[in-house]
Structure 1
């Protein structure tokens, strides 16, 4: 009689969520040190990768208005909307790359006769500094600076993934940067409600290894299923109170659209009524029409943890950093970009 393999030899699927963790895993080579039945998958932790096409379309629409210029992080330039990217329609002195929200203030003061719109993209990691900037501009100006937000919340998208039976996840490496803001307690629901092992860990190779093997011990039954904060130097249980104060002061939540996924309830951070005079969508009639367009890019499958980048037929063939078909290959935090840069050999 054929001998049955041990239960643990079934494929074990561990998802890391943070884009920086994705980079660290690829760069350290930890994927190739693990048993072959352990599969590391990337989640929706790359803010550029999950920014919906309609948001890019709206930003492009703004340039049709007189004396409007955009300020954006560099990763956003090549990400396509429904039909075009910002880089494809860029004209002289209309789109400026900035490195922080404060740079947008400098830009607005440099061009006092133009309306500067900052493309505010990110998760709870960048939401506090953007919120602090919004509060500062609201109180002190400049009057010609507006914000077009596409800020996302991490908890709703994780619930969306864990509640969907198609997305089989056996363990979760929680987003370290978001945890440093919200606190480790913000992710205990993964264990308490879904009975899944979950860890917060640092970003060095040793940190990642410790996190993965802690999860494997729980998945194999060597340790009880629990939530572990393995990054106590940077992540407190209750998080960063000042950063959370800026989030609570400036934003409220509403349903949000995620690229390749669709609408996720209560997942967007938008400006509260008090601050809406700084909201570009209130100043300009920006279309938020959702257009469904067929795509060969499988970024949606990748950020949901259903596929690894190398399982996409376009990866490394028609889709490369020089000719990206989707945002996962564009952003430095994208799973496809990390896989392509740090090694594509699968064994």
Structure 2
């Protein structure tokens, strides 16, 4: 993508996950004016992963608009530690307390670098250009292989000291529930993520169509056909999400919950029972009536949000409506 012009100063954005490292130059209107993409190298060699990041940055530095870049924003799978500039993504085994911020700053010619978790980045994107636009108090969530999230309070992104604030996936909503890999029990993620929707359905006797993998998408297909076990697995996921949203609304008074990620593609199978359960969990006057809406930005949310988070932190350009 090479438009004829870019508006205002630019931010170089990185969206780092277990399968891909995406980069873009983002202008003050949220447009991606250049892109770069590399697969995330597998295995324990952290320098190989950093090599892919370096390649993405080198491609962006070769773009015609690079001279207008004033900062780098990173949205990374977590845990991240923005205070220390390090990342330890669960799905990138080569990075444990990896000093990503100084390495990226060096590769970007000494530019300032702002690091956030990927859920916070998605939240920044949806508040700036997506479904949370115009709301001063919002929770945005990614429901996919895991469950992440972020908060907007008082009109501003709230990343927290380490860049992980709003991580709703690890609120415990079932005190005696299944152990979660994080070390707790009954976490929202352990119930509502795509793999756990499929796991629960299989445990209850559901099987995918012949030749189909047992995924949340396959469970959704069965649920649309009326399979009671598949429907029940989505209902349980919706209940967990509703409990987490209600807890958040009670704690900080949000007015909208935006849900993206692959599981949100189930549409009414997820959103209808979620709204119904939420009406029973969020009952106090100040917590009731939260709008629950699907995210708008799709796969570009990580890049747009990494840029928005950096722009807000460094006061580069307005990122609110």
* TM-score, normalised with respect to structure 1: 0.27
